[in-house]
Amino acid sequence: MRKPIWMALVILVAFNAWAAEDYTAPGVSLEAGDPNGAKLKPLRELEVGDSLSVELTGAKPGATVEMVLEDERGQEWSYSRVHSDKRGGVPRTLFWYQSGVIGTTSRRIEFKPDPSFLTFDEAEKFFDENSLRLTVREVDGRVLAIRWFRPIRRKSPFIYPSNEKGILENAINANDESLYASGRNLPAGATVQLYLVPNHFGWTVNDPFVAAASTTITLAPNVTSFTTKLLASGSNVPGAYDIVARVNNANTAPQILPNDIITFGEDTGVVVYFIIINGNVVIESAGRMANATAHFEFSNFFEKGEDVYGAVDPTDVPAGHTGGSYAAHWTVAHQSAAYWDGVNPPLVDVSGDGPEIHRVKYFCINGTRIRLWQAATQAAPIAGYDVIVDFGAVPANDAASFVADNTYNKGLDFIDGYSDVGFWVYERPDATGPKAVGTVEYLDPAGISGITDPGGITGPTYPVTLGWARIMYPATVAGTGTPVAPGGPYPVALFLHGRHWSCDNDGSGPGLSGGYGPCAQANRIPSHEGYDYIMQQLASQGVFCISISAHDIQFDNGVWNYNARGRLVLKFLDKLRDWTNLGTDPWGLFNGNIDMSKVALSGHSRGGEGVVAADQLNLTWPNPHSIVAVNAIAPTDQDALVDYVPSAAYYLLIAARDGDVSNMQGLRTYDHAFPQGMLNRKAKATGWVYGANHNYFNTIWTPTADLGSPNPWAGSVDDCSAGPNANQPSRCQLKMTAAVQRQVGLSTVTAFFRWHLQGAVGYREVLTDVLEPAAMDNANVFWTFQDGDRNAIDNFEQQPLDATTNTVLGLVTAPGFATFQERLLNAGSTSYAPPPPADSAFKHDTLGLQLAWAAPQTYITNIPAGPNRDVSMYTHLTLRAGKKTTVLPMAAGPDVVLTVNLEDSLGHTGVYWADTSNYQRIPDPFQGSLVANLATLTGIRIPLQNFTKNNSQVDLTDIVKITIITTGAAEIGLDDIEFGK
């Protein structure tokens, strides 16, 4: 009898609480308010225009939690359903936007929320008289919290994207709409800088940004609001953006300042959208849930084991689309554009649970969100997929009405993919693989012979006898000398260190004094052990790894030492071949277990030039080896005989803060590799790393403090040790940590090697900068990638220098530029003889173009009639560009941004100008280098799809000109305007 009374009382209390007052259940805490500022704006301060987010603790673990926003009449304004975590917490969930003001759009939207407002004025009038009730409850009925609130008339400054009438518009068509920004409640007469910046989920002070557009407006003395154009129609900057407003502050620094107004923080400010028609409706669909419950973000990359979600942004639905509001999401293996252009190609879902039928047209993207693939994975290390939004045989407006047709219907169904991969599922290239790792040490004082003068001419004979190496291999169990794992033979990765002190006076004792040999074995510094961190991961993935010592060569500084290093590499490869073919290895382990048909080389510093020499010497080596990939890390380029990789794919990893090879001479090895006209060219790539030094790619060369564990070996220093000076206030100061630097080496070298040794071709996209490994500091790595299959329209290599004629003998025009001339981009040690006039700001060795402009100018390079006009066999327009500055003392400067377009013989041009910043930055020279104003080329790869989408009618078989329009004022070096893959 007592129980019903208690229950009635509880219900009564709960009802009263629900009916009139704020209420919080025991043990529950709730924070609600606008999340778009630096800190959460609480409900009592909420102003019209603000959004609402909720987070709480104290729910039942794993409970379904509903959030409902209603007015006094019981009308529902917003609803969200989330799940609490294992501790009963619900992270911040954004679920009501801009106080119910939905503004306007030029798109046809099938669903319009009711109630909602068109303008902020309407909202203010409504909330003058009405309050809202936020109810948070568990789905079984337990009320967790109730809050009553009323957004007040806005008094604080407010900036929002709008149309020209000042009505909120948070999605515009980049093709034919201009974006305006409107402001309210600003100080009278204020000066407002406006920046359109790529959307971030939450901003903090000092976050850098690269503005896609900007403008400054000064209000009249008594005026406190404005509407101004921020982005003109026809701009080529599709994407999601926020607006940063800086009021009465002349500082133009491209970073968030403390009083900047951000529209919006956790919510997207504005979407500038495009639709590729071209017969196909190409959208972004695949994505993931971010670290807030209701936050969905598009993504093209998912590590194995991640859940892949799909969603349809309402702005991506074409006007007049005839499909229903429900569709099936198919996750299919990536197919070529030709496949999708076929007649109703069939669909085969690979996600394991078939296609998901779900709502795809809704006013909010979150209403279309659905999990497509739980714990996505596949056997291959990396694979590509497309998402098809299939509208079925008849329009369906609920799931029950959907009638499957299991085919892709071009123009009706949506596709996330088409010519590009929709999304990738990959394991980290540096992931620990399924194999245990065995280790053996090779040490034979007479293990090597024959490193002599290669030509038998006049060079010195190298007294190299010491055979010393560390070997890591796939094993049945981890340990020393354990059996090789079944599944071989395994491809080979060979590592070669560079020049470094060879002897430590007390060996592995505590002293750190040393020098160059000779010395006893116990005193020899094991530089070759410094790459264990890469070998360990590769070996676990099924790669036979060996790192060899060049101890006997270390003392030397002469012209033949690179040759000797190259021969040492080949000698060891000979040895491995004997081990696997003849079973002559000292441990009796490797007979038949080493796959000598796939060999990759990695060399560091002089070892980098040594592996380049090895690939060159291999051409005439008796019984040559099958070297398929060469990686040079911070290499030298001092060999008087050999200067480029002749046959293997090449990856140059080079550090901008290098205090040893501080003149960046390694860049020249990239420039010289695979020139135009060479047969059987391979891909080449450069990763140019801001903040990385010379030594820290090798753990033996990293001092204890930066390594994070004891290193007893002499010579371990931060090679960029010079302090700031008057011209370089940041010299050597902008330091990447050793661990982060090693991760760059680990992620990229493993990707490069697994691409070439294991056929995991998807890892190529790490080097194209399409796939950014989550573990890596991608923001500080600038990529250049040139495929072996490419054709130069202008590589500027023709002499005498003539900027007005390109490589294919087309006319080049550049009126209005302050500088427009070809130069050797080089600061010494050129391979051009005799050297033409040079620009020594660049540390490359290539002929390029100097361009300088004080105001935006137009550069056009024409393609004469002939085969060069057909670029349809390529996928990308590529070029290399580097910013040059001569200003001292060095100070932070903006990136250079170029806009690019193609034109065919009928005058068709891409609807959108390609903005280079969307593909790769052309950054300000790194300020932390030992050398001031280190101008360096980085690569821009623009998909040709960019120029053909939206029915541009651009004919890729008949391209007649490439146009580049500069922005701002700057000086650059330009090279290798090419079509490639």
Partner 1 sequence: MRTLIATLLSMTIATVALAQKETAPPRELPVSILSATVQTFDPPMPSRNGRYEQALVLRLEAERGLWESLPPSVETFLYIGTHELLPIATDLDRDRVVLTFHDPDWKSLQGGETMVLTVDHGDPIFDSGKYAGYPKFDPKIISEK
Binding site for partner 1 (CB under 8 A): 455, 457-460, 498-501, 515-516, 555-560, 605-606, 636, 638, 640-643, 659-663, 665, 694, 715, 719, 721-722, 826-829, 831, 833, 838, 840
- Of 390 and 658, the one with the shorter C-beta distance to partner 1 is 658
For residue 275, the minimal CB distance to partner 1 (Å) is 51
For residue 826, the minimal CB distance to partner 1 (Å) is 8
For residue 949, the minimal CB distance to partner 1 (Å) is 45
In this structure, the dihedral spanned by the alpha carbons of residues 786, 792, 793 and 794, taken in order and rounded to 10 degrees, is: 90
- Of 329 and 606, the one with the shorter C-beta distance to partner 1 is 606
For residue 668, the minimal CB distance to partner 1 (Å) is 11
Residues 6+ apart with CB under 8 A from 829: 637, 638, 665, 668, 845
- Helix, strand, coil in percent for the chain, rounding step 5: 15, 30, 50
- Of 335 and 663, the one with the shorter C-beta distance to partner 1 is 663
Helix, strand or coil for residue 778?
helix
- Of 54 and 656, the one with the shorter C-beta distance to partner 1 is 656
| Nearest to 731, CA basis, from 929, 935, 936 | 929
For residue 499, the minimal CB distance to partner 1 (Å) is 5
- Of 354 and 455, the one with the shorter C-beta distance to partner 1 is 455
In single-letter form, the type of residue at position 422 comes to: G
- Of 77 and 462, the one with the shorter C-beta distance to partner 1 is 462
Q: Which residues of 62-142 form beta strands (DSSP E)?
A: 64-71, 76-83, 90-96, 132-138
For residue 458, the minimal CB distance to partner 1 (Å) is 6
For residue 638, the minimal CB distance to partner 1 (Å) is 5
For residue 694, the minimal CB distance to partner 1 (Å) is 7
For residue 430, the minimal CB distance to partner 1 (Å) is 26
- Of 167 and 700, the one with the shorter C-beta distance to partner 1 is 700
Residue whose tokens read 């369906």: 396
For residue 500, the minimal CB distance to partner 1 (Å) is 6
- Of 18 and 555, the one with the shorter C-beta distance to partner 1 is 555
- 967 to 211, 372, 849, 900, 910: CA distances (angstroms): 12, 41, 17, 11, 19
Which DSSP string corresponds to 505-540? TTTTSS---EES----GGGB--GGGGGHHHHHHHHH
| Nearest to 685, CA basis, from 748, 744, 618 | 748
For residue 614, the minimal CB distance to partner 1 (Å) is 17
Residue whose tokens read 């450069």: 686
- Of 235 and 563, the one with the shorter C-beta distance to partner 1 is 563
φ/ψ of 598, rounded to 5, equals -135, 105
In single-letter form, the type of residue at position 862 comes to: N
For residue 538, the minimal CB distance to partner 1 (Å) is 25
Give the CB-side neighbour count of residue 563, counting CA atoms within 13 A.
19
Measured between alpha carbons, how far is 313 from 298 in angstroms, rounded to an integer?
10
Sign of CA dihedral 98, 101, 106, 109: positive
For residue 228, the minimal CB distance to partner 1 (Å) is 47
- Of 434 and 455, the one with the shorter C-beta distance to partner 1 is 455
For residue 936, the minimal CB distance to partner 1 (Å) is 15
Q: Helices 606-617 and 561-582 sit at what angle, rounded to 10 degrees?
A: 60
For residue 630, the minimal CB distance to partner 1 (Å) is 18
Bridge partners, 247 (sequence order): 192
- Of 379 and 457, the one with the shorter C-beta distance to partner 1 is 457
Answer left, alpha or beta for residue 559, where phi above 0 means left and psi between -120 and 50 means alpha.
alpha
Helix, strand or coil for residue 569?
helix
For residue 854, the minimal CB distance to partner 1 (Å) is 25
- Of 20 and 640, the one with the shorter C-beta distance to partner 1 is 640
- Of 36 and 693, the one with the shorter C-beta distance to partner 1 is 693
- Helices in 731-786 by DSSP H: which ranges? 738-758, 764-767
Residue whose tokens read 């129609």: 233
Q: Helices 738-758 and 532-540 sit at what angle, rounded to 10 degrees?
A: 40
Residue whose tokens read 């919080």: 24
Measured between alpha carbons, how far is 120 from 587 in angstroms, rounded to an integer?
79
Residues 6+ apart with CB under 8 A from 721: 659, 732
- Of 644 and 859, the one with the shorter C-beta distance to partner 1 is 644
Helix, strand or coil for residue 887?
coil
HEC string of 226-266 equals: EEEEEECCCCCCCEEEEEEEEECCCCCCCECCCCCEEECCC
Helix, strand or coil for residue 597?
strand
Pairing label, strands 544-548, 490-496? parallel
Pairing label, strands 414-416, 90-96? unpaired
Residues 6+ apart with CB under 8 A from 776: 743, 744, 747, 748
For residue 881, the minimal CB distance to partner 1 (Å) is 22
- Of 409 and 829, the one with the shorter C-beta distance to partner 1 is 829
Measured between alpha carbons, how far is 121 from 102 in angstroms, rounded to an integer?
12
Give the CB-side neighbour count of residue 306, counting CA atoms within 13 A.
21
Sign of CA dihedral 199, 201, 203, 206: negative
- Of 326 and 701, the one with the shorter C-beta distance to partner 1 is 701
For residue 671, the minimal CB distance to partner 1 (Å) is 13
Measured between alpha carbons, how far is 798 from 390 in angstroms, rounded to an integer?
52
- Of 189 and 460, the one with the shorter C-beta distance to partner 1 is 460
- Of 338 and 457, the one with the shorter C-beta distance to partner 1 is 457
Q: ∠ CA 959-963-969 to the nearest 5 degrees?
A: 170
Measured between alpha carbons, how far is 793 from 870 in angstroms, rounded to an integer?
11
